[in-house]
């Protein structure tokens, strides 16, 4: 049975600086943390109630900053970060995951059952892109720090389990990187870093995933402990003839991406189908539909793709790869860009129903 999942991010509604501050100073049980915990837990419950089988913590914060600003041994300078010594996470884990785990009883009571969780952690390759002139030594320091974060996210209890830990590497393959050429030291060390991080959940029976935005660089196939590959809806991985051979050869699995989240594209598609906008030029059309969305003249949930289209993508993936090679399905990442929180949750509700109806 394919399970529905999500990538994490959502639009934040409310006092973001307050949320961000309390995340950066999070300590379980402290009074300062109540607002942070309540926001995270409510949103996680919203995802479960939307029908997501294995939801991710709500990722309201910037995926790189939330990890890098938590490190001792690094300084923020104008164009990025500079490493000044050994890297140590101040909080050993992800505050959002910790807040969810600390409230598992409340969450179970609210949904009337136990639940599973997907945890995403920004990967070393993507984090290094924020560090000025990174070296292999810095990759190794970063891996040591990330090990502590991964360890802190593992949670297995009677009420809830972390089922899947995903290292997010959206930067990989986006620009050509000769450092990753076959047999190069960087390539070997990036693979080693991923497998060092994956080894920790693997020994606990937790699945390991890699979240990508491009699969042009084939390095990930050589990761020993990687189980699940995630990528965007239009990635050739989902249509290439060699994918099934590679999945079988390397014994890997897919998260099928069944729903697009690029909000400008979605708004454009809706405008093309709506009489009011058809007479306008393409740029006027996009401008006008955004004005109307912001004014509430159009229901923002209207921009979400149809269940038929999502179902078609899921069926195509199942036909091509077989149900046994697809463990999860859900929208691609980017729900943070949706017009509002409600429409992002509505998107999760729709895609999860498509998965459970299959």
Residues that bind Zn ion (CB under 5 A): 170, 333
Which residue lies nearer to Zn ion by CB, 26 or 220?
220
For residues 148 and 92, the answer to whether their CB atoms sit within 8 Å is yes
Query: CB of residue 7 vs Zn ion: minimum separation in angstroms?
Result: 6
Q: Which is nearer to Zn ion, 103 or 231 (CB)?
A: 231
Pick the closer one to Zn ion by CB: 170 or 300: 170
C-beta of 210: minimal distance to Zn ion in Å?
A: 11
Residue closest to Zn ion (Cβ): 333
Q: In the bound complex, what is the minimum distance in angstroms from residue 278's beta carbon to Zn ion?
A: 33
How is residue 130 written in tokens? 């924020």
Residues in Cβ contact with 311 at an 8 Å cutoff, skipping those fewer than 6 apart: 258, 354, 357, 358
Q: Closest distance between Zn ion and the C-beta of residue 62, in Å?
A: 13
Min dist. Cβ of residue 257 to Zn ion (A): 10
- Partner residues linked to 210 by β-bridges: 167, 229
Nearest Cα residue to 74 out of 119, 130, 120: 130
- Is the distance from CB of 132 to CB of 177 less than 8 angstroms? no
State which residue, 233 or 318, has the beta carbon closest to Zn ion.
233
For residue 358 the two structure tokens come to 């299959």
> Least Å distance between CB 8 and Zn ion?
9
Q: How many angstroms separate the CA atoms of 158 and 104, rounded?
A: 10
Size of the chain in residues:
358
Bridge partners (DSSP) listed for residue 156 = 161
* Closest C-alpha to 204, from 159, 157, 141: 157
Compare residues 270 and 333 and give the one whose CB is closer to Zn ion.
333
Residue with tokens 């884990």: 93
Nearer to Zn ion, 267 or 335 (CB): 335
Neighbouring CB atoms inside 10 A of 158's CB total 8
């Amino acid at each position: 049975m394919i399970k529905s999942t999500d990538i994490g991010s959502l639009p934040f509604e409310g006092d973001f600086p307050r949320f961000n501050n309390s995340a950066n100073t999070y300590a379980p049980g402290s009074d300062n943390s109540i607002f942070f915990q309540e926001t995270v837990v409510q949103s996680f419950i919203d995802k479960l109630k939307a029908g997501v089988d294995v939801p991710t913590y709500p990722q309201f914060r910037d995926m790189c900053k939330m990890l890098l600003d938590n490190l001792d041994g690094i300084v923020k300078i104008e164009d990025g970060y500079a490493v000044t010594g050994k890297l140590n996470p101040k909080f050993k884990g992800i505050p959002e995951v910790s807040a969810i785990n600390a409230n598992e009883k409340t969450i179970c009571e609210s949904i009337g059952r136990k639940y599973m969780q997907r945890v995403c952690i920004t990967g070393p390759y993507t984090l290094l892109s924020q560090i000025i002139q990174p070296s292999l030594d810095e990759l190794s320091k970063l891996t040591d720090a990330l090990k502590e974060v991964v360890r802190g996210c593992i949670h297995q209890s009677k009420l809830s389990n972390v089922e899947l830990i995903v290292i997010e590497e959206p930067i990989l393959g986006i620009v050509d990187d000769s450092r990753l050429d076959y047999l190069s030291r960087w390539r070997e060390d990036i693979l080693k870093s991923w497998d060092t991080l994956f080894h920790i959940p693997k020994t606990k029976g937790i699945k390991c995933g890699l979240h990508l935005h491009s699969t042009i660089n084939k390095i990930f196939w050589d990761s020993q402990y990687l189980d699940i590959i995630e990528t965007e809806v239009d990635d050739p991985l989902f249509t290439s003839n060699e994918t099934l051979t590679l999945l079988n050869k390397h014994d890997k699995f897919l998260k099928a991406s069944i729903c697009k989240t690029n909000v400008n594209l979605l708004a454009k598609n809706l405008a093309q189908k709506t009489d009011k906008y058809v007479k306008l030029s393409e740029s006027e059309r996009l401008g006008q539909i955004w004005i109307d969305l912001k004014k509430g003249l159009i229901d923002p949930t209207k921009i979400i793709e149809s269940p038929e289209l999502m179902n078609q993508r899921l069926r195509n993936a199942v036909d091509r790869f077989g149900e046994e090679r697809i463990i999860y399905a859900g929208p691609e990442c980017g729900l943070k860009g949706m017009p509002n929180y409600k429409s992002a949750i509505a998107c999760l509700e729709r895609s999860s129903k498509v998965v459970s109806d299959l």
